[in-house]
Homo-oligomer: A and B are copies of this chain.
Amino acid sequence: MFVAKVVGKVISTQKSEHLLGAKLLIIKPVDDNYNTIEDDAVVAVDTVGAGYGEYVLIAWGHSFCSEKQISADLCIVGIVDEIQRE
């Protein structure tokens, strides 16, 4: 898993039936000081009700993202309240 910030949303009308009803959010990985790392447009399916600007926990793999018959390779599995550092 990794921590990322929600920075946008993808609108897609024509898509796989596995993604029907999925909320597709653009996320950017952050370091442990919450700085976003510039990267290509990574898209994760939301499963916890995340919103713009929030810091979230992203998981790879299909097992997490299988609610409501949605299937995805990256999904948002938690809202990050705080990163506590050593």
A45 CB contacts on chain B under 8 angstroms: 1
Copies per assembly: 5
A63 CB contacts on chain B under 8 angstroms: 18, 62, 71
Task: Please determine whether A32 and B57 come into contact, CB atoms closer than 8 angstroms.
Answer: no
* A10 vs B86: C-alpha distance when bound (angstroms): 11
A residues at B contact (CB < 8 Å): 1-3, 6-16, 18-19, 24, 26, 29-32, 37-45, 47-49, 52-53, 57, 59-64, 71-74, 77-86
A-B contact pairs, 12 of them (CB 8 A): A1-B72, A1-B73, A2-B42, A3-B43, A6-B86, A8-B84, A11-B80, A11-B84, A14-B48, A15-B48, A59-B72, A61-B73
